[in-house]
Amino acid sequence: MANPRSRHRKSNLPSTAKGERIYAIGDIHGRYDLLRQILKSIEQFNRGLPSPEKLHVVLLGDVVDRGPASAQLLQFLRDWAANTEGQVMLQGNHEELMLKVHAGERRLLRSWLQVGGRETLESFGLTVPGSGEPIPPRFMADIAAAIPKATIDFVNRWPTVARSGDYFFCHAGVRPGVELARQAKTDLMWIRSEFLNSDRDHGAVIVHGHSISAEAETRHNRIGIDTGAYRTGVLTALYLDGAEREFIVTEPATEAVAIAQAQ
């Protein structure tokens, strides 16, 4: 671990709002083990720093699906939010799919199952039909009964965006050329190539997940921190405090944490 007291302020970088320290965490996708690991690492990292006026942990969406422990994750987040302050959970496209299926949109069920909904439902104790098997008539009712209403209400309250100073947080990205205040929810949750390939100034540095990369991507207009945790074991967090930046990364081979100076 780098010595926090030896870091130098980078005056050429964008800045958080005055007094705000942010830890943004990329797509967790059912990996409760990795979330607990990175939160412990954030806690250790934070001990070496002076106390900020405000501290926030921002989850960038796609907490559910693909990995094995979505139910456990959601219960943990409910308890965490009820007992401490400063968390910001943003909705991703996988939360949107879960909420719509739970609300009765049967047409989305097969699509959701194919992109990780199966693992989520199994984590809530449901037996899910195979890809070639018919869906039982009562299966939608079983889903509504299996996922507690309190959990659904909790996720429904998650916003789609957050901002601190020169940083704008969302799940997938933004539509280039559209003001941040006028971004469509669909783009905030689903956009890829138009955003990833854009060199435009978006009005803030966009901190996002959704699009997997081997390691965190830092561009002049965006920072992507989805490192495919559900299959790689690498969950990435971004530390922001004023003009300072660092990455906190889980390393699956040793279950240690490496802190790499952000470029």
SS (H, E, C) 198-237: CCCCCCCEEEECCCCCCCCEECCCEEECCCCHHHHCCCEE
pTM of structure: 0.92
Strand partners, 258: 249
Query: What three-state secondary structure class fits 79?
Result: helix
pLDDT attached to residue 9: 43
226, 170 contact by CB (below 8 A): no
pLDDT attached to residue 5: 30
Cβ contacts of 42 within 8 Å, gap of 6 or more: 23, 57, 237, 239, 248
The sheet carrying 205-208 orders its strands as 162-164, 167-169, 205-208, 222-224, 217-218
Residues of the chain with pLDDT under 70: 1-11, 253-263
CATH number of this structure's domain 15-103+148-261 = 3.60.21.10
pLDDT attached to residue 131: 86
Token pair of 253 as six digits:
């081979």
222, 204 contact by CB (below 8 A): no
Strand partners, 223: 207, 218
